[in-house]
Amino acid sequence: MSKMTYSIPIGPVHPSLKEPMTFNFKIYGEHIEEVCLAPGDNHRGIEFMGMQRNPVQIIYLAERICGICSASHPFAFCKAV
């Protein structure tokens, strides 16, 4: 069996990824030769929703920006305000 190079793209939305990110693996046989990483983004309209709320409500909104850092975003908002 001859070895050939092929590409396996994973992402940007994939169940195993916590954040939107694209991985493109270049594989030769059973070895990974190169990995191209492209970070993604999600537009949720957090800024627009924050403009319609008072500062106390924005603290709870900031908790929902990211599932991983639900404590750091509200803390940063409180320090900034």
Tell me the per-residue pLDDT of 11-58, one tens digit each, with 9 for 90 and over: 777 777 777 888 888 988 888 899 998 888 777 788 898 899 999 999
**pLDDT level of residue 65 (50, 70, 90 thresholds):** confident
| Domain co-membership, 33 together with 68 | no
What residue numbers bound the domain in which 6 lies? 1-42
| Domain co-membership, 55 together with 81 | yes
Q: Which residue pairs from 2-10 have beta carbons closer than 8 angstroms and sit at least 24 positions apart in sequence?
A: 3/28, 3/29, 4/28, 5/33
| Domain co-membership, 51 together with 26 | no
44/33 Cα distance (integer angstroms): 35
| Domain co-membership, 47 together with 78 | yes
Q: Is the pTM of this model over 0.85?
A: no
Say how many domains are in the chain.
2
